[in-house]
Structure 1
Amino acid sequence: MSDLNKLISNLKSTFPQAVVNKQFDEATLSIYGNEIIKTLKKLKTGSQFKFLQLIDIAAVDYSQYPQKLFDNNRYAVVYHLLSIKNNQRLRVRAFVEDNNFPVIETATTVYANADWYEREAFDLFGVMFLNHPDLRRILTDYGFIGHPFRKDFPMIGNVEMRYDPEQKRVIYQPVTIESRNNVPRVIDEEGFRNG
């Protein structure tokens, strides 16, 4: 049995309620968001796992995904873990239950470096991390309205900023560029253009 198949077998026996599959030569463990802390603790301390390092956290907006996953939950928070002892990586996908106000417990109690990753997911996707020590924007301005990586956020944005020489400061104003069709033009094998 390969190391990856052994990991998948261990995941299935330890987390029988989860969905475990193989994607891109890595194991993916999909769970509901309310199970994230106990799951991360088992993955970090379990003798068969030892995922001691959190590599990254990202959020995903599945609102336009053709296959509905986990009761049509729109958002998932994805944790990338590394076990140096076992030379393995694991992707943990936690589906957040409320599509209008996504909330999940902070992972900073298990992995201290989750702090800035969670701030990024909050800023760009609007996922709230319960009990986070300092949840505030990290990439956009403090006065920014909306979350730019959500599928329903307009691609041209809502406001633009520019320097006003009369006021001698940067000001915000409504976007002045025209909406564009962002369908890429693709040339297929026969040389025809799409779009």
Structure 2
Amino acid sequence: MQPSASPASAQQIGDTVAAVLGDKLKNIKVAFGEVTVTVAAADYLAAATLLRDAPGCRFEQLIDLCGLDYSEYKDGQYDGLRFCVASHLLSVSLNQRVRLKVFCADDDFPVVDSLNGIWNAANWFEREAFDLYGIIFEGHNDLRRILTDYGFIGHPFRKDFPTTGHVEMRYDPEQKRVIYQPVTIEPREITPRVIREDNYGSGLQ
């Protein structure tokens, strides 16, 4: 498939996507030449299928999918749902892009449907979002951690996860194996130390 020579403008793409999604569309935003659409979790699969198949959309490829934690958005003044999944879709045939967002309905147990049956590329992206944010992708056939170590506790990209982690690992020569221990790292402020000589720069003309 050859890309279109003159792609539609962001506003035209937004209008087409809005017409295709209809009442499944919760919000649409066109800014900086990009289109972002938000749908409810209950409409996520249906909306994704429409975006892939509808003649004016034809987003054949999922090029990225990531989790988002809004818990400290706008300095903690955000009062919406906490966890979100954002997918970036590409239409090769129409030379256009769209961002699809969905918020998990339950902050304590974030769940959305898996897109793996619509775009195979979602597989590892969803595993990453599960690993780092704890978002469950219902219908994923192999949902397990992909980046953190075996037995890792917690989800390190959540805003409330400590930067030092909960445990540290090291090799114990006596036991001849890797062991895990509570973190002993002292929190510290990393402030650069600036040293200037009294005559610094005086010889420069």
The two structures have a TM-score, normalised by structure 2, of 0.84
Residue equivalent to 1:110: 118
Alignment of 1:8-19 (within 5 A): 8-16=14-22, 17-19=25-27
Match for residue 94 of structure 2 among 70, 86, 101: 86
For 1:8, the aligned partner's letter is G
Instruction: Using the TM superposition, give the Cα deviation of residue 21 of structure 1 relative to its aligned residue in structure 2, in angstroms.
Output: 0.6
SS of residue paired to 2:170: strand
Residue equivalent to 1:174: 182
Question: In the alignment, does 2:78 pair up with 1:68?
Answer: yes
Q: Unaligned regions of 5+ residues in structure 2, if any?
A: 1-7, 193-205
Asked if the contact 2:116–2:140 (Cα under 8 Å) also holds between the matched residues in 1, the reply is: yes
Match for residue 21 of structure 1 among 29, 35, 42: 29
CA separation in 2, counterparts of 1:181 and 1:31? 41
Residue equivalent to 1:35: 43
- Greater radius of gyration (CA): 2
Alpha-carbon RMSD:
1.8
Alignment of 1:114-125 (within 5 A): 114-125=122-133
Asked if the contact 1:11–1:20 (Cα under 8 Å) also holds between the matched residues in 2, the reply is: no
Residue equivalent to 2:198: none
Asked if the contact 2:59–2:89 (Cα under 8 Å) also holds between the matched residues in 1, the reply is: yes
Q: Unaligned regions of 5+ residues in structure 1, if any?
A: 186-195
For 1:152, the aligned partner's letter is D
Instruction: Using the TM superposition, give the Cα deviation of residue 139 of structure 1 relative to its aligned residue in structure 2, in angstroms.
Output: 0.5
Residue equivalent to 2:169: 161
Instruction: Using the TM superposition, give the Cα deviation of residue 3 of structure 1 relative to its aligned residue in structure 2, in angstroms.
Output: 2.2
For residues 132-184 of structure 1, what are the alpha-carbon distances to aligned partners after superposition, in whole Å with 9 as ceiling and x for unaligned? 100011001120000000000001100000011111111100111112347x8
For residues 89-122 of structure 1, what are the alpha-carbon distances to aligned partners after superposition, in whole Å with 9 as ceiling and x for unaligned? 1110111110000001110111112111100000
The two structures have a TM-score, normalised by structure 1, of 0.88
For residues 21-43 of structure 1, what are the alpha-carbon distances to aligned partners after superposition, in whole Å with 9 as ceiling and x for unaligned? 12332100011222111011000
Residue equivalent to 1:190: none
Which stretches of structure 1, 4 residues or more, deviate above 6 A after TM superposition? none
CA separation in 2, counterparts of 1:84 and 1:6? 17
For 1:138, the aligned partner's letter is I
Instruction: Using the TM superposition, give the Cα deviation of residue 44 of structure 1 relative to its aligned residue in structure 2, in angstroms.
Output: 0.3
Instruction: Using the TM superposition, give the Cα deviation of residue 12 of structure 1 relative to its aligned residue in structure 2, in angstroms.
Output: 2.1
Residue equivalent to 1:55: 63
Asked if the contact 1:12–1:18 (Cα under 8 Å) also holds between the matched residues in 2, the reply is: no
For 1:99, the aligned partner's letter is D
- Identity over the aligned pairs, expressed in percent? 46
